[in-house]
Chain A
Amino acid sequence: MDTWPLLTAERLALVACGVPAAGLLAAVGLYRRLPLAHRLFSACLAAGSLAGAGLGLLGLLADRPLRIAFAGPHPSLPVTLLLDPLAGLFLLLICGLAAHAAWYGREYALHGDPAPSLLLQDLTVAGLIAAMAGVVLSNDVVTFLATWELMTVATFVLVLQEHGRTEARKAAYVLLVASQLGTACIVVALLGLAQQAGSLSFDAFRQLGPLSPALRNTLFALALIGFGTKAGLVPLHVWLPLAHPVAPSHVSALMSGVMIKTAVYGLIRCCFELFRDLDASWGLAILSLATVSAFLGVLFALMEHDLKRLLAYHSIENIGIILMGVGAGLWLEASAVPVLGGYALAAALFHTVNHGLFKALLFMGAGSVICATGHRNLEEMGGLLKRMPRTGLTFFIGAMAICALPPLNGFASEWMVYKTLWALSQAADPWAQPLGALVAAVLATVGGLAAACFAKAFGVAFLGLPRSRRAADAVEVGPDMWVPMASLAAGCALLGLVPGLVLPLLARALPACVNDAAPALTDPGAFLALPVPAGPAPYLSPIAILVAIGLVPLGFHLAWRWLGESFDRPRVYGPWSCGYPGDAPAPATGGGHVAMGRAQYTATAFSQPFAFLFRQFFSRRKLLDVHAKKTEYLPERIVVRIRIRSPFDRWIYGPLRLTVLWLSGRVARIQAGSVQLYLGYMLATLVLLLLVAP
């Protein structure tokens, strides 16, 4: 029993590394036939990723953690890897999604005119996957930071794929700056721990005695800022909605689905393993930030009409939901209720997995739509469900899952997060209970807004009539693209229907200090009942829920039947009606169809009530441009532009940017480019040294 996992793990690791490497060699050999080389390499990458996922599963199931050490660049810096159940869970998620993304990329990356640098892009994707796997496996500071930085660099290169566009260059720059600042914080936090432990190995950190409160709090705050930046926690999220949409869609799926989860992984390791005896107030801090993230993320998503950026904002929202679980877990663990803490963390891990599945699915769906229509703006789509039924169906499943609608996986994990929030009353803090209720209320609002957002996204993109010529001409994507999406959709449904399948696995992945919750999770009834150690339980009857789930659709059905009377009347339209053309046959060219499509309810119109309702949270300005030749009373064209600025840009990052620019301008003056000035610096330095030195 002790030997076979090791043996198999070695073989799997060999396949995970060897197959993509062999694929790369073959692809380089086939360089002149670029599409073939790309397809070959992507297939090898998918196969290697599958092997990596197997390795992750093995690590999750193994009885004892697997440790590997290589000789590093220096005898005192060995590369040490640790495959314990938590790392195994993340490795499984990363590699499983990477396999889907790589397979999807086989066709996606070839649409339009594939750039000659396509193989370089593929290689960078492989590097990104390897770096993410390295981050979760690394067991010492140097390996962790090296893979972490490799991940940043790979992301930077992938965001820059369309470097001809200003948007992409700006996004890449912001990404780089944000990542570097975040990494700087992580470096200080980890090296501070290393200094205390006297070793760079994470194992030494785990055995570290209690630190002084001031040092512990400072280092943890730095770690939180660093990981929070990568995760996209508000207000450190600015890079995320810029960078995720401009990368190729299968890369966006990876970035949003798993790349930002490595930060969640780092934060969990920090909260529950590396830093011991954290104050309960850190749990409160994480919970508050997470709540703000979830709420603002979904709010900005609602205002967004760029499909991919909308999804990127939803990533911020979901990271918020995940970190709600982490924060609540930390709070409960620090309040000496480790069973509930473990349950909260399990909820967070479950939502991590689920968000990975449906967010990757949604980004792939967005990619398919972009492939077929060439548009990213929702207002240019419409009526795609008839033209792209497979994409539409899978996107719909993903949208339902992200809105936390039963019976899909998003519901399952958000349900666990809700229960965690109710369980906060068990924390020692007297105001934990009202706060938990408040956060639960916010989470409910977030769910409602997410549903509104995806009603908009799905409705405008897939229902109704085409809003542009290219949307009218859209055709379904090929099987290389829809099969991975279908597979992910099946995963969403499976995890939603049978959450009991994964809960025992999640229980294995819990860190040692909270794994008392494991029995509660492996119990089949755990999903519905709340594991409360003692006292009156905040209880919600499973039967009541089932009844409610049954009654609500029934109510809808009856209401539909009743209202249907008025809907079913024949609708007659005049030849010049400005409304929908009804069932009129589409003109052969599709042109008239499009013109009629313009008269539909738009995404902007859909989100306008919400924009009005939540107007305090962003500055929304409507700009009216009247283009007229002779007199403005006879305009040729009227353009309405709505500009939405987030309060963070306006109050934090805008002034910050201006200050930095002003300071840089001041500093740049010493480098005026004049030879004499430089010689003058030399003279001044020389004289100063001559005067000071003796």
Chain B
Amino acid sequence: MSQASQLLELLSYGVLLVAVAIVTHADLRTCIRLFGIQGFFLGFLSILVGWHTGDVHLYWVALTMIVVKGLAIPAYFEHVMRRISVGRGPERAFSTHAGLLVAAGLMLVAYHVSRTVAPATPWLTRDVLASSLATVLMGLWTMINCRKALTQMVGFLVMENGIFLFAITETYGMPLLVELGILFDVMVAAGVTGILLLRISGSFNHIDVNEMTSLKG
């Protein structure tokens, strides 16, 4: 196994580790910063893949990744957080232990599934694939586990990061235009969520999604 390959694996573990940290961490501000770190990890990962394959466009992808996901979106979310003054109340539906247990189970599922999917080249190991799938599931689990709408958005973005990781390990990244389009989508989603949250907290004085059960027909 080449050193580059080992480095790639290490970076993907970093992405997954951050995702697990987001699942369990109670503090919203920490979650947002952790998400930023994940963006940096993905950026470095893109640079590594680009260097290995010689694809120049992956450098651009890495740059936008770091700027948008590593800096812009966390900064924007922190701004929203300050504006709506999210309280420090109970943040998770499940306890930390239960959340970690489920996360471990989901990781097992991801590793089990990754055995049936062939990576694009031997250079990309199965573990990278598995951690990308696990990251997607962690994101979904974050959305289920948390009670604040802003954290749910973070979970959604973690899912998106997992999908990015999967794409880059399976296909060496999509064409630049597609990547930029997806990033733009994510940015718009984050922006809309921010505006919506401002509105919701303005109308209801909280952003607790549990209170939305009374809206059902």
Q: In whole angstroms, how far apart are the Cα atoms of A694 and B116 in the complex?
A: 7
Docked pose: A399 CA to B24 CA in angstroms: 80
- Expressed in whole angstroms, the Cα–Cα distance for A112 and B76 within the complex equals 64
Q: Mark A661-694, 1 if CB is under 8 A from B, else 0.
A: 0000000000111111001101100110011001
> Which chain A residues border B143 with CB–CB below 8 Å?
676, 679
How many Cβ-Cβ contacts under 8 Å join chain A to chain B? 44
Question: Could you tell me the dominant secondary structure of chain B's interface residues?
Answer: helix
B11 CB, nearest partner CB in chain A, Å? 24
Considering the complex, give the chain A residue whose CB is closest to the CB of B102: A683
Contact of A690 among B109, B210, B212, B215 (CB under 8 A): B109
- Pairwise interchain contact B144-A691, C-beta atoms closer than 8 A: no
Q: Mark B81-103, 1 if CB is under 8 A from A, else 0.
A: 00000000000010000000000
* Chain A residues within 8 Å of B213, by CB: 672-674
In the assembly, what is the distance between CA of A21 and CA of B116, in Å?
66
Residues of A within 8 A of B106 (CB): 687
Q: Across the interface, name the chain B residue whose C-beta is closest to A691.
A: B109
Is the pair B214, A673 in contact by a Cβ cutoff of 8 Å?
A: yes
On chain A, the number of residues with a Cβ less than 8 Å from chain B's Cβ atoms is 15
CB contact between B144 and one of A673, A679, A690 (< 8 Å): that residue: A679
Which of A673, A680, A682 is B215 in contact with, Cβ under 8 Å? A673
B131 within 8 A of A: no
Instruction: Tell me which of A672, A675, A686, A694 contacts B140 (CB under 8 A).
Output: A686
Q: Which residues of A contact B109 (CB under 8 A)?
A: 687, 690-691
- Cβ of B129 to closest chain A Cβ, rounded Å: 13
Tally of B interface residues using CB under 8 Å: 22
A686 to B152, CA, bound (A): 18
> Does the CB pair A675–B152 fall under 8 Å?
yes
Check if B141 is an interface residue, CB within 8 A of chain A.
yes
Q: Are B212 and A682 in contact (CB under 8 A)?
A: no
Assembly CA distance A237 to B23 (angstroms): 58
Nearest chain B CB to A681's CB is how many angstroms away? Answer: 10
**Known contacts A683-B137, A687-B106, A691-B112: A672-B216 contact under CB 8 Å:** yes
A680–B116 CB distance below 8 A:
no
Contacts of B137 in A (CB 8 A): 683, 686-687
What B residues does A686 contact at CB under 8 A? 137, 140
In the complex with contacts A683-B137, A686-B140, A673-B112 CB distance below 8 A? no
CB distance from A562 to the nearest CB of B (A): 73
- Given A683-B140, A683-B144, decide whether A674 and B210 contact each other with a Cβ distance below 8 A: yes
**A691-B113, A694-B116 in contact; A673/B141 too (CB < 8 A)?**
no
**Cα distance, A648 to B45, chains bound together (Å):** 73
A357 to B183, CA, bound (A): 75
- Contact A675-B113, Cβ < 8 Å, known A682-B140, A683-B137, A687-B106: no
Q: Is B145 an interface residue (CB 8 A)?
A: yes
Distance (Å) between the CB of B37 and the closest chain A CB? 24
Taking CB atoms and an 8 Å cut-off, the chain B residues in 187-215 that contact chain A are 209-210, 212-215
Min distance, Cβ B84 to any Cβ of chain A, angstroms:
18
In the complex, the answer to whether A674 meets B212 with C-beta atoms within 8 Å is: yes
Tell me the bound Cα distance from A680 to B212 in angstroms. 16
- Cβ–Cβ contact A676 & B93, under 8 A: yes
Which A residues are in CB contact (< 8 Å) with B214?
Answer: 673
Query: Min CB distance, A685 to chain B, in Å?
Result: 11
Q: Is the CB of A690 within 8 A of B113?
A: yes
A690 contact set on B, CB distance < 8 A:
109, 113
Tell me which residues across on chain B come within 8 A of A675, comparing CB atoms. 152, 209, 212
A677: shortest Cβ distance to chain B, in Å?
8
Hey, what's the 0/1 contact readout for A490-523 against B, CB within 8 Å counting as 1? 0000000000000000000000000000000000
**Bound form: Cα–Cα A689–B141 in Å:** 16
Roughly how many angstroms separate A134 CA and B140 CA in the complex, as a whole number? 55
Contacts of A672 in B (CB 8 A): 213, 216
Q: CA A690 – CA B141 in complex, angstroms?
A: 16
Q: How far is the CA of A167 from the CA of B207 in the complex (A)?
A: 42
Q: Would B209 and A676 count as touching, CB distance under 8 A?
A: yes
Among candidates A674, A683, A691, residue contacting B141 with C-beta atoms closer than 8 Å: A683
Residue of A nearest to B93 (CB): A676
CB pair B212 A673 closer than 8 Å: yes
Output the nearest chain A residue to B156 by Cβ-Cβ distance: A679
Residues of B within 8 A of A683 (CB): 137, 140-141, 144
**Given A679-B140, A687-B106, are A674 and B113 also a contact pair (CB < 8 Å)?**
no
Residue of A nearest to B212 (CB): A675
Contacts of A674 in B (CB 8 A): 209-210, 212-213
Tell me the nearest residue of chain B to A671, going by C-beta: B216
CA distance A435 to B146 in the complex (A): 73
For the complex, give the distance between the alpha carbons of A619 and B116 in Å. Answer: 68
Residues of B within 8 A of A673 (CB): 212-216
Known interface pairs A682-B140, A686-B140. Does A694 touch B113 (Cβ–Cβ under 8 Å)?
Answer: yes
- What residue in chain A is nearest B140 (Cβ atoms)? A683
A529 to B132, CA, bound (A): 92
- Residues of B with C-beta under 8 A to A676: 93, 143-147, 209-210
Chain B: CB-nearest residue to A681: B144
CA distance A358 to B215 in the complex (A): 52
Q: Which A residues lie within 8 Å of B112 (CB)?
A: 691
Chain B proximity of A110: nearest CB distance (Å): 38
Complex formed: what's the CA distance from A683 to B102 in Å?
A: 11
Further pairs besides A675-B152, A679-B140, A687-B109: 11, Cβ < 8 Å: A671-B216, A673-B213, A673-B214, A674-B210, A675-B212, A676-B143, A676-B144, A683-B137, A683-B140, A690-B109, A690-B113
Chain B residues close to A by CB (< 8 Å):
93, 106, 109, 112-113, 116, 137, 140-141, 143-147, 152, 209-210, 212-216
Give the top 7 A-B pairs by smallest Cβ distance, nearest first: A673-B216, A673-B213, A694-B116, A679-B144, A676-B144, A690-B113, A680-B144
Q: What are 15 contact pairs spanning A and B, CB under 8 A?
A: A673-B212, A673-B213, A674-B210, A674-B212, A675-B152, A675-B212, A676-B144, A676-B146, A679-B140, A679-B143, A680-B144, A683-B141, A690-B113, A691-B112, A694-B116
